[in-house]
Every structure is written in C-alpha cells, then in structure tokens.
Amino acid sequence: MKVLVTGASGLLGSEICRRLDADREFLGIKKLLKLRRKPGDHYLAVDLANPADWPQIAEQDWSVVIHTAAIKEPDKCENNQPDAVMLNVAATAFLANEAARRRAYMIYICTDYVFPGINPPYDEDAAPEPLNYYGQTKWQGELAVLAASTSFASLRVPILYGLAAGIEQSGAIIGSLRPLFDRHEQKMDDVIVRYPTWTGNVAAAVELILSNQAAGVFHCTAEERTTKYGLCVALAQLLDLPYDHLQPYTGLGTGAPRPHDAHLSWQRLRLLGFPGCKSFSQQLQLMKPELAAGIRCIKS
Ligand SMILES: NC(=O)c1ccc[n+]([C@@H]2O[C@H](COP(=O)([O-])OP(=O)(O)OC[C@H]3O[C@@H](n4cnc5c(N)ncnc54)[C@H](OP(=O)(O)O)[C@@H]3O)[C@@H](O)[C@H]2O)c1
C-alpha cells in the first residue's frame, strides 16, 4: 500500500511523512523540491494548483492519498480567491476523483473554520456555515471528497503547532515568539478562542483512520482553550521570557472574519479508540528542548 501525502513539506504533512517513514511506503508531494530528485526519493514536486501538473499524480502508483496541501491563511484566501479555489477546491476534487477512479482510499484534512463559532461545541454532523473564504473553500473541498466516494474520510482540525517542519513553519509558535522577542508594546488578541493541537496527535489520528479505512467526517482537537495572547503568555512563562510589553486586546480584529469559538467535539474518533490529544501546556513542556534549539536557530 503506497501512500501519497500532499503538503509533505508543511506543518502537518511533514509530521505525517515522518511517521509513515517508519512502517509504510509513501510518496510526498511538495510544490518545490529544494534538491534534484534522485531514484528512490520519497518526494516529488507537483504544482497542484496547475492542472497541467495533475497527470504527474495520475501516473504514480499509490492506493491511499492523505491530502494536507492547502492555502490555510484566511487573509491570503480572502485576497487571492482564484488561487484559493484552485488549490483548496479544484486540486482537491481532482485528487478525490482520481482516488475514486483507481479505487484508492482518501483522507482529506479540513478545518474547524467550516463552523461560524457561535454555538460550540460542534459535532461531526453539525451544519457547516463558514464565515470566511478560507472556510468556504475548505468546505467545498470536503464536499468534493465525500461526493467522490462514500468510503473517503475528512478530518477537521483546529489551529496546529509542531516542529517536524522546523519552527518557522509552525505559525502558532513563531507567531507567538516574534512578539515576545520584539520588545515593543503590542496588543494581542484575547477574544478569539483557540484550541492549539499538536501535529503529532493529528498524525496519530490520521494513522488510526487509515488503519480502520474509516469513512465520513471526523474531528480531532485538544481541549485546553486559550487566545493568541494566552499562547504568548504560556510560551513566555515556559521559556522564561518577559511579556509585560504585550497587552491583551479585546477589540475587533482586522482581516478576514474568524469564528469566535469553533470548538470541535470528537465522538467518532473516540469510538475508533483515539485516546485524545495532549493539552498544549503539557506538550510545550515536552517540546521545551526542541523549542529552545529552534529559537537559537532563528536568532543566529
Ligand atoms: N496549520 C493550522 O493551524 C491548520 C488549522 C486547521 C486546518 N489546517 C489544515 O491542515 C492542512 C495542513 O496545514 P499545514 O499547516 O500543514 O499547511 P502548511 O504548513 O501551510 O503547508 C502547506 C503545504 O502545501 C503545499 N502547497 C502549497 N501550495 C501548493 C501547490 N500549489 N502545489 C503543491 N503543494 C502546495 C506546500 O508545499 P511547499 O512547501 O513546497 O510550498 C506545503 O507542503 C491544510 O489542509 C489546512 O487547511 C491547518
């Protein structure tokens, strides 16, 4: 069983590839390859947003696809809607139809931003109602996957963090460290509720869904709630950094609208035997040596 992983250089895709490397054959798709491809390499460069590149995917031998590649930044999607549609919807529909045609299995990675965040928690059957273009395109991608085959799965996740692709790739961590290093007075959002979830836990959920070849919509989330400001404070306290220059901000945010609290409930994953995700306080503590090493790299 060869597994195709899109977004293999990304925050989540690199964690999934790291785990698959141990016991399954996989081919990771990246947009760009930094080094020339050699025989036996696990990676292939394909621009999924360019339909002219799609035959390269169709030519490969694979029987499972884990589709993580996406434009995930809400403001980028809002400001560049054609690009967001090409990758988040059109490329997803192509992969789903190709997987169905060859009777392969597919897991699509989706987001809690399909929900408006007004009435949490949201279970797997709650009706999506995205507030921004990113959420709309991810939901359309999910609909295309579920329409292509009733045996495919979609896994919705909230804000992620992890270090498999390097500290710079982990938006939640780097986005909290930068304001801590930059000692200017700054206001940090303290309104939008987030549930930072470790990519290692999501990769384990993907493995569980894959080994059961489970179908339909699944949710995976950690339970500890925080805000952007709360995450900065947690990292500052963990790493012994000053944070008195940061002010909690409770006014309106700028940019694409975000759901206030899109907390996911995850009964279906529990029924598959998933033990749950670590809280970010516990997980950050475990990652402290790796974090410190990553910080030394970005400072040098
Ligand atoms: N990160 C979060 O907080 C979060 C929260 C909820 C849901 N999600 C969902 O989780 C999934 C994974 O997110 P992530 O954080 O791992 O994303 P990421 O770190 O931004 O990685 C995106 C990946 O997509 C690839 N990619 C981008 N454009 C491409 C193109 N045109 N052709 C081929 N590959 C392309 C990138 O390849 P290159 O590096 O080669 O450009 C990269 O490997 C996404 O579907 C996202 O919607 C993420």
Compute mean pLDDT per 10 residues along the chain, 300 residues long, and list them: 94 94 88 69 92 96 98 97 98 98 98 98 98 98 98 98 91 90 92 97 97 98 97 94 95 91 98 98 94 79
- Confidence at residue 253, expressed as pLDDT on a 0 to 100 scale: 84
- Confidence at residue 99, expressed as pLDDT on a 0 to 100 scale: 98
Task: Report the separation in Å between the CA atom of 16 and the middle of ligand 1, taken as the mean of its atom positions.
Answer: 12
- Confidence at residue 41, expressed as pLDDT on a 0 to 100 scale: 73
- Confidence at residue 128, expressed as pLDDT on a 0 to 100 scale: 98
CB-based pocket (< 6 A), ligand 1: 7-13, 29-32, 46-49, 68-70, 72, 87, 109, 111, 138, 157-160, 169
Q: Which of 68, 77, 112 to mutate to test the pocket of ligand 1 (most atoms within 8 A of CB)?
A: 68
Nearest residue by C-alpha to atom 21 in ligand 1: 10
Going through 223-277 in order, the beta strands assigned E by DSSP cover 246-249
Going through the chain in order, the beta strands assigned E by DSSP cover 2-6, 25-30, 43-45, 64-67, 105-111, 153-157, 160-161, 186-189, 197-198, 216-219, 246-249
- Confidence at residue 21, expressed as pLDDT on a 0 to 100 scale: 78
C-alpha count within 13 angstroms, C-beta hemisphere, residue 288: 11
Task: Report the separation in Å between the CA atom of 245 and the middle of ligand 1, taken as the mean of its atom positions.
Answer: 32
Q: Is the peptide bond before 121 cis (omega within 30 degrees of 0)?
A: yes
C-alpha–C-alpha distance, residues 20 and 24, integer Å:
5
pTM of this structure? 0.97
